[in-house]
Amino acid sequence: MKRRQLSALCVAAAWILVLPAASAAGKSEIKGAAILDHACGKVAVKQMGMVHAGNFDEANKLSTKEMQDQWKAMPAKDRTMMMGMMKEMSSTEQQYSNDIKTNGVLVVDGPGATLTVKKTTKDANGSMTSTMTQNFKLDGSQCLISR
C-alpha cells in the first residue's frame, strides 16, 4: 500500500512540474522589432497604412470574415463616422512600425494574438500615455485582424 501512495505522490509531483511548462508553451511574447517579422505585425502595419491613406475597403480585407460582415451590416452613416475617426487616429506605416519597434508587445496564444503598443509622450505640460490594442486570429501562417 505504501508503494502505491509513493507512486501516486511521484506522479502528482511530476504533473505539478509539467503543467505550468505545458501551458506556457502555447503562449509566447514578442517585443519590439521582432514583431514586424511576425505575420500579425505585418498585417497590423499594412492595415494601419491603408486606413491612414483612406483605403478602408482594402484595410477591411485584412480582417476576419465576421468583422467584414459586421462592417457591411453597419448603416452607411455609421461607417462614414467610423472611417473619419479611424483615419484621424491612424498613423503612417512608417510611424506605426517605429511605434511597434520601440513600444510594442505581441502576445501569441494558440489561435489568437494581441498586439499592444503603449506610447508615452512628454512635453512642457507633462506626459501622456496612449495604449493601442489590436486582436488577431491566426489560421496557419495567415493572421487576420479580429475583435
Percent of the chain with pLDDT over 90: 70
Q: Which three cell numbers mark 127?
A: 506626459
CA–CA gap between residue 69 and residue 85 (Å, rounded): 20
Q: Where are the domains of the chain?
A: 26-146
Contact by Cβ (8 Å): 139, 64? no
What is the tens place of the pLDDT at every residue in 97-110? Answer: 999 999 999 999 99
Contact by Cβ (8 Å): 115, 105? yes
Please give the residue that has the higher pLDDT: either 135 or 7: 135
Q: Is the pLDDT of residue 11 over 70?
A: no
Residues in the chain, total: 147
Query: What is the CATH T-level fold of the domain 26-146, as seen in this structure?
Result: Nuclear Transport Factor 2; Chain: A, (3.10.450)
SS3 68: helix
Please give the residue that has the higher pLDDT: either 129 or 26: 129
